[in-house]
Amino acid sequence: MLTVLRAGPLLTVQDAGRPGLAHLGVPPSGAADLLSYDAANALVGNEPGAACLEATLAGPALRFDPPALVAVAGAEADARLDGEPLPLGEAREGALLELGRCRVGIRAYVAVRGGIDVEPVLRSCSHDLLTGLGPPPLRDGDVVRIGQRSSNRCQTPGRCLTPLGETLTVVPGPRTDWFGSLLDTEWRVSPASNRIGIRLEGPPLERLRRDELLSEGVVTGSVQVPPSGQPILLGPDHPTTGGYPVVAVVRGDDLPLAGQLAPGTTVCFSLG
């Protein structure tokens, strides 16, 4: 059993999400930084796809009863297990996990051996910020069960800390020819960003075509451009169709970096 002593700004349960339902309007959802999420699960010997906690901006304080094998991956934040420092990417057994403010990156993943045991909705335990599907964000005092399924040996994944490049590689399109170049600008990450989308601020992107776009399907990582010319980088909880043209899409390998973009930092796009 896990008790949330302090949830922090936003603490949600996440797994690999709900792919395959986009044609019914259901967002993919899932961990915003899948690389760190996978790493956290591997460290405690969970099956891939086990549910973890995603802490945003600042970490939670959690009590495990009985003590459990836990690991933290993703954003760099001071973690203490029973008062002793718990380095990022190390799994240890303990009863009290305290995670501080995220210093580099904004999302830390807490994995517990056995996984977080909550009722799946549409085969996923992920909280979806857009639709509210899945378990609601955790609050102070919430109690959550720990699962039993963990037959795997603990592994040390290749890398735990997400490297924070401020350059994301993109594939141009589908609507590149509607705009001037996305690549020449340093964009500022707006504080009005979340799991649905990251708002980018900078000189408005020049629009070369004035046609109105008929709604079309969009993917996570799409750089969507509303009439203001200030792009929105779509996160995992994005609406499945949109009427704003998409100038480019972030490559899959760089999506975990997008999931760690901190408000106030800058980001550039390159063709890789």
Partner 1 sequence: MTRVLPAGDHGALIECDDNAAALRLAAALRARCGFVDVVPGHRTVLVTWAGERPPLDVDDAAFETQPGKLVEVPVRYDGPDLADVALLSGVDDLVALHTAAEYTVAFVGFVPGFAYLLGGDERLVVPRLDTPRERVPAGSVAVAGPYSAVYPRDSPGGWRLLGTTELVLFDAESDPPALLEPGDRVRFVAC
Binds partner 1 by CB under 8 A, chosen from 48, 173, 191, 203: 173
In the chain, % helix, strand, coil (3-state, to 5) comes to 10, 40, 55
Q: Which residues of 178-216 are buried (b: 16+ CB within 10 A; e: fewer)?
A: bbeebeebebbbeeebebbbbbbeeeebeeeeeeeeeee
Query: If binding is defined by CB under 8 A, does position 48 make contact with partner 1?
Result: no
CB of 122 to partner 1, least distance (A): 5
CB of 250 to partner 1, least distance (A): 7
CB of 31 to partner 1, least distance (A): 16
Tokens of 23: 């044609």
Query: If binding is defined by CB under 8 A, does position 181 make contact with partner 1?
Result: no
Query: If binding is defined by CB under 8 A, does position 133 make contact with partner 1?
Result: yes
Query: Which of 101, 109, 93 lies closest to 39, judged by CA?
Result: 109
Q: What is the Rg, in whole angstroms, of the alpha carbon atoms belonging to the chain?
A: 19
Binds partner 1 by CB under 8 A, chosen from 155, 171, 202, 268: 171
Interactions with partner 1, residue window 236-255 (CB under 8 A): 239-242, 246, 249-252
Q: Which residues are near partner 1 by CB under 8 A? A: 19-26, 28, 121-122, 130-131, 133, 171-175, 214-219, 221-222, 239-242, 246, 249-252
